Structure formats: structure tokens, C-alpha cells
Structure 1
Amino acid sequence: MNTSRLIEFSEEELAELDEVASAAERITPALGAMEVENVRNQARAGAIAERVARRQSASVRSQEMVYRSVAAELAGVTFTTDRSMQSQINQAMEWVECYPATLAAWEAGRITRGHATAVLRCGTVLPRDARAEFDAAAAELCVGQSVGRVKDRLDHLAQELHPRTLAERHAKAREERRVSVTPLRDGMSELVATLPTLLAEGISDRLNEQAASIIDARNTPAAGDAGADADADTDSEAEPDCRTRDQIRADVFCDMLLTASPLVDPTIDGDGNGTLGMIRAKVQVVVPAMTLLGRDDDPANDATTADLVGSAPIDPATARALAGAVASWERLVVHPVSGQVLCTDSYRRTASMARFLKARDRHCRFPGCRRPAIRCELDHTFDFALGGPTDIRNLCHLCQRHHSMKQFTSWGVRQLGDGVLEWTSPTGRIYIDHPPAPLVRFMPSGDGAPPPDEGGGAPPSDPAPF
């Protein structure tokens, strides 16, 4: 750990910070109880509207007026709009009718509104008669986890409990892929592409990489600038590039679609694509071994669906296609029972230790952070400059934000073995962060016996890098 901290708290400030944190611990359950009371009250308003609407004529307009009237009544006393209140009432009725376990955990302060909202969102893919099982399991998954961390697990849980496989639903949804244009004001329009998640994430990632390359190029002095004539006419100089990252992404997006190569590439030399044009997206995908073997065509084995790290599940056919496609996609293959990483592959060859750690961590290891490992830095838990070894038991992935926090603040961390990290806050509170569990699970058939372990027994608790 870094002993030369640049940021320190005085004892008085730490004591005050501890009081603030203790107050937050006390307030959170009370706040949750009040929020759930409000949800139940809004659901009662929705029930009233339903009863009154049933007594009206079959006119859709008259029934809609009932809901608007009830929403307007609550909006008036809560200083909001009737449109917003009607949306809140619909959400409240969904929580009360389909997610009682989630509401109970929220009311007890074990989870927050953010968790409950994530459960509601992920559960929408399920038929109503399948949501009770999802609700019970989802409420427990959320306890002790940040909202960002648990979303992936909730997505996968919903996929496992769905009566139709993800492969079947993806095939149908893929038919709806399209590009649409919506006119906006002031001569602008919104271009929306509805695509398979893997392709959309890859496009976004490539735009990010290309934007970063442009920003780096404009921030690097051109060769010969130091010897340039200071008396040169500044009017002849090119306008500085002051575009934001979002503006650059939009410009590159247009250039790529209209010209097949980014015209804004500062490294282009007239003989073809420059460095920017050669950038390809890099996406981390976890693929179960049974998916690669094609064993997931049976609906009973839909739990072998692959995982797009940091985003969402992907269908087995896409995962198998990636396994044999160009190497610009990073692929991980995991054991169908234990989840132990069997092998990895990436375009750029990396040290086996780095590959193992990327497979183990999958995201930043600061509590609650889910920035993918491919966008993080490998950090020595015990500083290398102080004698810390370059060993998988002393390495983990941290994003730039949390790497800086570890380096320049009083947050401390140590490894407990098996990739488990113990973080200590400035006030002395302890937070344990475990490596993410596999989001894919094998569902055995027949007598339920797992397939034999070809590795000759159970994997070691802290395996060596391969």
C-alpha cells in the first residue's frame, strides 16, 4: 500500500465523517419504509381507478379519463404533473402485484429504490405468472450489492426463468432490427439504430476508442512545433479542435457511414487508413463451454447463455459465431459446472497472468464499481515500489478513478486470498469485495450428475495462471 498519502483527514474530520456515515446507516431503512408506504398508497389510488373504470362504458376514452382524474388528484398534493403521477401509479401497481418480496426488502432497508427499480425493469421480460419466482430470488440477490453490480445478475436470472429460451426470443427480436430518423428542432434529427446488443456495444466501443485517439492527437504537439517561427502569422494557423467527446463520436459516426473511413483521422497519410481507421471494437464475452459445443439448443439448457460483460446476455448462436470469428473480440471459455476459466483469447497477446486476472475480475474491484476490466488498470495491491510482488495474489483490476483513490486517499485494501479484497474506508468501515460469480450456470439433466472433470478433480482454490 502507498504510505505517502497526499490526502489525509484529521481525527476531528474522521470523527465527523463517521457520524455522517452512521446517520446514513440509520436513515436508509427509515427512508425505505417511507418510500414503500408511498408506493403502496399510489397502488391504492390505481386500484380505485380500476374499480371506477370498470363501471364506465366500454369507451376507451372514458376509462382513460378515470385514470387521469385520479392521477391529477395525487399530483395536486405532491406538486407534480398528472402525467408523471400516472406513470408512478402504474409502476407502484406493478411492484405491489408482482414483486412483494422486493417491496419487503426495500421496506426493511435491505435494498434501495434503485434495486427495486432494477428488479422491476429486468422482470418485464417475464410473463406475469413467472415473476413470483423471479421476485423472491431477485430480492436476495440485491442485498449487499450495488445497483450497478447486480443488474447483470438480475438480467441473467430473468433469462433463466423465462419459459422461452433467449435464442428463440433473440431470433424473433432480431427481425425487428432497423434504422429510423426522428426530426428534431433547429435542423437536427435523431438517427436510431435498433441492433443486437453485441453489435451495438461494439459500435459504441469503437467510437469511444476513435474519439480517444483524436483527443490524444490534438493534445500532442506536432513535430517541429518547438522550432516554429514565433513571428509566424497566427491567422494562417488552423482552428484548434475544441470538440467534446460526444461531438467527436457523432462526427466519426457520420464519416464512417458516409465514406467508410473516418475523414477526421489525424494519422491518415493518403496511402490508406491511418491509425484511427484501423481501430476495431474490443468486447469481453464469457462463453460457457457447453454453448460452444452447441448443447444449449435444448430449452432446458438455456442457462448456458453467454454473457457480454458489463451489458447483457447474448444468444448462444452469436457466442458460437464469435468463437470462430476475427480475433478483435476477446473471448473467455468457462467450465459449465464450476465456472472456472478454461481458456481465453484476444487479438493482442497478453501475459498469461493478465489474461487470468481479466477473466477473474471482469470489472473494477472497488466495491460497487462495474467498469469492465478491459477498461481498467492492473494494480499491485501492495505497491511494487515497496516490495509488492507481481503475482496474481497481489494484483487486481481498478478503474482510473478508484486506482487514484487507493493511491491518494486513506482508503486501504488488502487481499484475503482467492481474489477476495478487503477495503477499509477512512472511518474504519470494512467492505468485502468478492470476484464476480459466473453468470452462467449448467443445468444437468437425467440423474443430475455433473460431467466428469477432465482436469482431474476439483480446481484449486487459488489456481495458477495458465
Structure 2
Amino acid sequence: MNTSRLIEFSEEELAELDEVAQYAESMTPALGAMEVGNVRNQARAGAIAERVSRRLPASVRSQEMVYRSVAAELAGVTFTTDRSMQVQINQAVEWVECYPATLAAWEAGRITRGHATAVLRCGTVLPRDARAEFDAAAAELCVGQSVGRVKDRLDHLAQELHPRTLAERHRDARCERRVGSIPAGDGMSDVIARVPAILAAAIDDRLNEQASTIIDADPDGRTRDQIRADVFCDMLLTGSPLADPTIDGDGNGTLGMIRAKVQVVVPALALLGKDDDPANDTSTADLVGSAPIDPATARALAGAVASWERLVVHPVSGQVLCTDSYRRTASMARFLKARDRHCRFPGCRRPAIRCELDHTFDFALGGPTDIRNLCHLCQRHHSMKQFTSWGVRQLGGGVLEWTSPTGRVYIDHPPAPLVTFMPSGGGAPPPDEGGGGAPPPDPAPF
């Protein structure tokens, strides 16, 4: 680390920053109580509209007018639109009726509106009679976690509690794949595609990588979004990216050689698969940075992609053991990618495949190239660690301790394994033998 370039705060500035942080911390419970009070009030408005609509003829138009009228009443006194207020009322009714534990945690300041919104969104896949169990568990999952970090855990929790397996629902949902367009005015339209999540992530990744190549080769003033849109149209209309500034002959240039990369973590037992009946396939895999994917897609990837890196998980403790084989530096990188899955700065979820491997204790100062001294950081947080007084140290087992400039400490744990198994006797899982140290020997191939 070049300490001469380290950004420092004066004692007075640190004291003032500490006061600002203390105020934000102290206001969280008060804000939560006020926000939940407003939610309960909006839910009362929804209940009024429901009672009135029951007395009216059973026509969609009559009932809709009741809800519009009630929403307009609240919109007038809160200086918002009736459309926006109607959406807020519907959300409020859902929170009050289906997520009381989440509301209680929000009201007490243990979680924020962002957490409660994530619980509401993830719970929509569940039937209403399955949401009570989800609500109780989800509220506790959110405590002490950033919204970004907890979203994937909420997604997986909802999948586990759903009465139908993800494999079954994905099979049905694939029948709904489609592409359409929506006029956006001024001669523009939005192209909307409903495709499997793994393909959407791959499309997004390839567009981003191709845009980066164009920006590096020929920065012509277009924004990244504009370049992505142009490449998207070229690829669909011509089959090759004509916007590629690296074309120098009859063949594709650099853009045509770029292939999408996504990071998928799959429990070892999900790769085996019991049979071809989706109803018996209850496991899920994780599309890092996005959402769960069905096990059949994960197995197809494992069999079709030459560069697939298998993740082996301890069948009792759920601890990551290895990915493929362990061969010095390359195998250490695989292990760390499997362990971290995303940037390890508190709250950041940028996938590890888009991050840098950082020596926690600088290599230039004698830090070893060892998994106990390495973790993934995105470029933003890698730079912040290097040039500001944010500090980090490893506590073992992949656990990081971050210290802010004002002295506040944040503990960041590696992502929880996707599945864990307990012995039939219900005993506790064995201790972490690795302790974040050297990787264990190669297991027998499966």
C-alpha cells in the first residue's frame, strides 16, 4: 500500500463524521416507527375501500372506482398522484395482512423499508397460506444485513417454502417466454424479453463486455448504455456486431469473440439428480448476483460448458471444500471464487467474476499469497481500501472485520451455503476443520 497517497480525515472531521453517523443510527428506530405507522394508515384506507366495494354491484369498473377515489383522497393530502398512492395502499394491505413479523421488525428499527420491500417482493412467489412461515424467518434474516446482501437469501428461502419445486415452476414458466415491444414515445420503444434467468444474465454480461471493448478501442462519446443498445440491435438484426471498431477483415473482430460469463454455484448433490421427474428435484442452484435457478438448467450447464468448475460441498456442514482440483494459484482462485461469490465489502453483491483478488495484508509489505490473506473486492471497494483509512483484517474461515474511519466495526461473513444437511440424529455439524487455511485434499470424484 502506498501510504503517502492514503486519504486521511483530521481529528475534527472524524469527530464530526462520528456525530453524523450517530445521528443516522439513532434516527433509524424513529423513522421505522413513523414509516410503519403510515403503512398501517394506508392499509386502513384499503380496508375502507374493500368494505365499500362489497356493497356495490360486482362490476370491475365500480370496484376500481372505489379504490381510485380512496387513493385520490390520500394523494391530495400527501402531494402525490392517485396512481402512486393506489400502489402504496396495495403494498400496505399486503404488508399488514401477510407480513406482521416484518412490520414489527421495521417498526422497532431492526430493519428498514428496503428490507421490508425485499421481503414483500420475494414473498410474492408463495401462496398466501405459506407466507406466515416465510415472514417469520425472513424478518430475522434481514436483521444486521444490508438489503443487497439479504435479497438472494430471501429468494432461496421463498423457494424452499414453496409447495411446488422450482424445477416444476420453471418448466411451466418457460412456456411463457416471449419478446415484445412497448412504445416509449418520441419515436422510441422498449424491447421486453422474458427468458430464463441464466440467459438474461449471460446476455447482459456479453453486452457489457462488448461495450467495454468498444469504449477501450474507440471512445466516440457514446455512453455505455447507448453502446449496449446499439450492439444489441446490431446483433439481432445482422447476427454480428457491426459497431465493432476492431473489425479489420472479412471476419468478426474482438466483439464477435466475446462470450458471456456467468457465475453459478451448484450443490454437489444437485448435479447428481435423482431422476427426470421435476417433482422429486427439490434442490436449487444460485445465479450469483441475481436469483435461484432450477437444478435442470444447472446440470445442463455442467455438462455442456467445457470451462465448468464443479463446486463440492461438505454433505454435513455445508462448508465449501473445493472446486475441481487444487493446483497452486489457479486452484486457490477457484476456491476463493466459490467461497466469496461476490465482493466482500459489507453490503456489496458484485459477483466475484467481476471482482479482483486482493491481498488483505499487502503483498508488497510481506503479505502471503494464501487463502487466509485473500478475498474478492470490486474495483470500487478495492480502491477504497487502498486509498482511504477503511481497514480490514481476516479473522479466519473467510470472515472479514472491516473498520471505518470513525472506528466502527463491521463483520462480513462468507455467503451461507445454498443447502446444508444434518445427521439423522440431529447432532451439531462438525467444526470447521479448514479454518480458512489451506484447502483440503481433493475429494474422490463424483
Q: Please indicate the TM-score interval, normalised by the length of the shorter structure.
A: over 0.9
Counterpart CA distance in 2 for 1:327 and 1:211 is 25
- Among residues 286, 289, 305, which one is paired with 2:268 in the alignment? 289
CA deviations on 1:214-240 (whole Å, 9 max, x unpaired) are 111125xxxxxxxxxxxxxxxxxxxxx
SS in 2 for 1:307: strand
AA of the residue aligned to 1:414: R
CA deviations on 1:160-212 (whole Å, 9 max, x unpaired) are 00000000000000001111122332222222111000001001101111111
SS in 2 for 1:184: strand
In the other structure, the counterpart of 1:363 is 342
In the other structure, the counterpart of 2:87 is 87
8 A contact 2:148–2:349 mirrored in 1: yes
Deviates more, 1:3-12 or 1:242-251: 3-12
TM-score by length of 1: 0.89
Counterpart CA distance in 1 for 2:185 and 2:90 is 31
| CA separation of 1:142 and 1:363: change in aligned 2, threshold 3 A | same
| Per-residue deviation, 1:328 | 5.2
SS in 1 for 2:301: helix
1:25-424 to 2 correspondence within 5 Å? Answer: 25-218=25-218, 241-295=220-274, 297=277, 299=279, 302=282, 304-327=283-306, 332-344=311-323, 351-424=330-403
SS in 1 for 2:436: coil
| Per-residue deviation, 1:50 | 0.9
Aligned length: 436
Alignment gaps of 5+ in structure 2:
none
8 A contact 1:283–1:329 mirrored in 2: no
Counterpart CA distance in 2 for 1:318 and 1:371 is 22
| CA separation of 1:2 and 1:301: change in aligned 2, threshold 3 A | farther
SS in 1 for 2:318: coil
Structure 1 runs of 4+ with >4 Å offset: 296-301, 328-331, 447-450
CA deviations on 1:86-132 (whole Å, 9 max, x unpaired) are 11111000000000000000000000000000000000000000000
1:11 correspondence with 2:11: yes
| CA separation of 1:257 and 1:364: change in aligned 2, threshold 3 A | same
Q: What is the Cα-based RMSD across aligned positions, in Å?
A: 2.3
| Per-residue deviation, 1:442 | 4.6
AA of the residue aligned to 2:438: A
Counterpart CA distance in 1 for 2:232 and 2:2 is 42
Counterpart CA distance in 1 for 2:37 and 2:402 is 35
8 A contact 1:393–1:417 mirrored in 2: yes
| CA separation of 1:86 and 1:124: change in aligned 2, threshold 3 A | same
8 A contact 2:105–2:139 mirrored in 1: yes
Deviates more, 1:179-188 or 1:336-345: 336-345
Counterpart CA distance in 1 for 2:175 and 2:308 is 24
AA of the residue aligned to 1:380: H
| Per-residue deviation, 1:448 | 6.6
8 A contact 1:205–1:281 mirrored in 2: yes
AA of the residue aligned to 1:397: H
SS in 2 for 1:324: helix
SS in 1 for 2:193: strand
| Per-residue deviation, 1:263 | 1.4
Counterpart CA distance in 2 for 1:345 and 1:252 is 35
| CA separation of 1:448 and 1:188: change in aligned 2, threshold 3 A | farther
8 A contact 2:145–2:347 mirrored in 1: yes
TM-score by length of 2: 0.92
Q: Percent identity?
A: 86
SS in 2 for 1:172: helix
Structure of larger gyration radius: 1
Counterpart CA distance in 2 for 1:443 and 1:169 is 27
8 A contact 1:284–1:330 mirrored in 2: no
Counterpart CA distance in 1 for 2:2 and 2:343 is 19
Counterpart CA distance in 1 for 2:329 and 2:239 is 30
- Among residues 423, 435, 441, which one is paired with 1:461 in the alignment? 435
Counterpart CA distance in 1 for 2:308 and 2:71 is 49
Counterpart CA distance in 1 for 2:104 and 2:64 is 31
8 A contact 1:301–1:442 mirrored in 2: no
| Per-residue deviation, 1:66 | 1.5
AA of the residue aligned to 2:285: A
Alignment gaps of 5+ in structure 1:
220-240
